[in-house]
Amino acid sequence: MMKKWCGTLAIILCIGILSACGGQASEAVNTSASSSSAQETGDSGKAGEKDSVTQVDPNAKIASMSIHMTNNLLALGIKPAGSAIGGGVGDFLPHVAHLLEGSAKLGVVGDSDMEAVLGLKPDYIFIDEHFGGEERSKLEKIAPVVSTNLDEGTWRDHLKRVAAVVGRDKEAEAFIKEYEEKADRVSKLIASELGEGATAMAIRVSAKEIRVQSAGRPVGPIMFQDLKLKPANGVEKISASEPYAVISKEVLPDFDADAIFLIVNNDDNAKKVYAELENNPLWKNLKAVKNNHVYTLDGQKWLDYSSLGQSMAMDDAEQLFTK
């Protein structure tokens, strides 16, 4: 009797689940395609493949659903009418907030406030497949969608792709050119300060551990390609596909870096981090510390892998090394 009961129950539930899944299978096809393309860096699911528009008037009302996208638009001199906010800070990122005054907040990246988007009545919606691929079908009901993919290429590619859509290729070229010139200038400054072929590492410190940043996104490219620093001994062992690894303090001297870039999120943290580190004799004895080559970075800019963020990071570097 009981077994029969259980069996019937199981069957009913299975049917329920199956029908639920079946009911949305048609929807799932789009979304799964977009989400998987976000994961693969290969040539499947190229950015913009599913976009219905290829040309957008730069003066149109644009809603940007990704922080990177917002910053790319800002770099091209376009202020989106509304933008997603950072999940960590719960607001526009501090380093670009002044550029977004008056723009609407459209909810946290990847968890958009659909009503806010709808209320904005945008002409176009710009998304990044890496964060917002899942929401594409919903957003398409509001306005045509334009997309980039953070996992494809560098920020230069993303910027050019956006520029092509809004017809501001020249601005993008100019922006990149200006960046390269700045990078050239700063790398010379660095070379004169640290010597040719100096090695460097970027670390983040919390109360209980030390993270060493990898040579990959977000800080690897700017440090080791644009600024022509050499990765310190051991940085290359951290897989570039992860942003950082937690490393034992004991091996800090082994990295033997000529310069240390210290990433901190805000001023209060910076003070605490410094206070803790300065008390540690091992830290004091590091080559970079002894030679006074520790640079505290404005983390928001350096960790922001977008055209505007990287350019601001470059300005930050210029300031640090002209002193």
Partner 1 sequence: MDGEKGFKSIVMSGSRHIIFILLLFAALLGLGLTLFMSVSYGAKDLTMGTVWSAVMHYDAELTAHQIVHEIRLPRVLGAAITGMAFAVAGAIMQGVTRNPMADTGILGINAGSTFMVALCFAFLPNLSYSALMAISFAGAAMTTVFIVLLGSLTPGGLNSIRLTIAGAVVAAILQSLSTGIAIYFALSQDLAFWYAGGVAGVTWSHLKLLVPIILIATIWACMMGRSISFLSLGDESATNLGVRASRVRFLGMTAAVVLAGASVSVAGSIGFVGLIVPHIARRLVGADYRKIIMLSAILGSILLVWADFAARMVNPPREFAIGAMVAMVGVPFFLYLARKERSDL
Partner 2 sequence: MDGKAIFLLRRKRTIRVAIILLGVALTVILISLNTGTIRLSPTSVLKALIGYGTAEESMILYEYRLPRIIITMLAGAGLGIAGAVFQGVSRNTLADPGILGINAGAAFGLIAYISFFRSLDGPAALMIPLFTFAGGAVIALVIFLFAYDRYRGLLPIRLILVGIAVSAGVSAMTLLLSLRLDEDTYAFAARWLAGSVWSRDWVNVWGLFPWIVVLIPIIYYRSATLDLFTLGDETAASLGSAVTRSRLILLALAVALSCASVSMAGGIGFIGLAAPHIAKRLVGPQHRHFLPIAAMTGLVILVAADTIGRSLFHPNAVPAGVVVAAVGGPYFLYLLFTTK
User: How far is 113 from 307, CA to CA, in rounded Å?
Assistant: 25
On whether the CB atoms of residues 236 and 201 are closer than 8 A, the answer is no
Stretch of 148-156, 188-196, 279-287, 297-305 lying at the interface with partner 1 (CB under 8 A): 279-287
- Name which of residues 99 to 128 contact partner 2 (CB under 8 A): 105, 107-111, 113-116, 118-119
248 is a contact residue toward partner 1 (CB under 8 A)? yes
42 is a contact residue toward partner 2 (CB under 8 A)? no
- Name which of residues 73 to 92 contact partner 2 (CB under 8 A): 85-88, 90
278 is a contact residue toward partner 1 (CB under 8 A)? no
Q: Residue 148 pairs with which residues in a beta bridge?
A: 128
Kind and range of the H or E element at 6?
A: helix 2-23
- Name which of residues 168 to 207 contact partner 1 (CB under 8 A): 206-207
User: How far is 245 from 234, CA to CA, in rounded Å?
Assistant: 11
Residue 247 touches which member of partner 2, partner 1, none, C-beta under 5-8 Å by kind: partner 1
E strand map for 46-122: 62-64, 82-85, 104-108, 111-112
**CA 152, 156, 162 angle in degrees (round to 5)?**
80
DSSP state, 220? H
On whether the CB atoms of residues 295 and 237 are closer than 8 A, the answer is no
Q: Residue 199 pairs with which residues in a beta bridge?
A: 230
Stretch of 14-22, 176-184, 272-280, 309-317 lying at the interface with partner 2 (CB under 8 A): 14-22
User: How far is 150 from 71, CA to CA, in rounded Å?
Assistant: 13
Q: Is 55 helix (H, G, I), strand (E, B) or coil?
A: coil
Binding mask 243-272 for partner 2 (x = CB under 8 A): x-----------------------------
> Shortest approach of partner 1 to residue 97 CB, angstroms?
13
Q: Which residues bind partner 2 (CB under 8 A)?
A: 2, 6, 9, 12-13, 15-17, 19-21, 23-24, 27-28, 31-32, 35-36, 39, 85-88, 90, 105, 107-111, 113-116, 118-119, 134, 138, 141, 243
Q: Which residues bind partner 1 (CB under 8 A)?
A: 88-91, 206-210, 234, 245-251, 253-254, 268-269, 272, 275-276, 279-282, 285
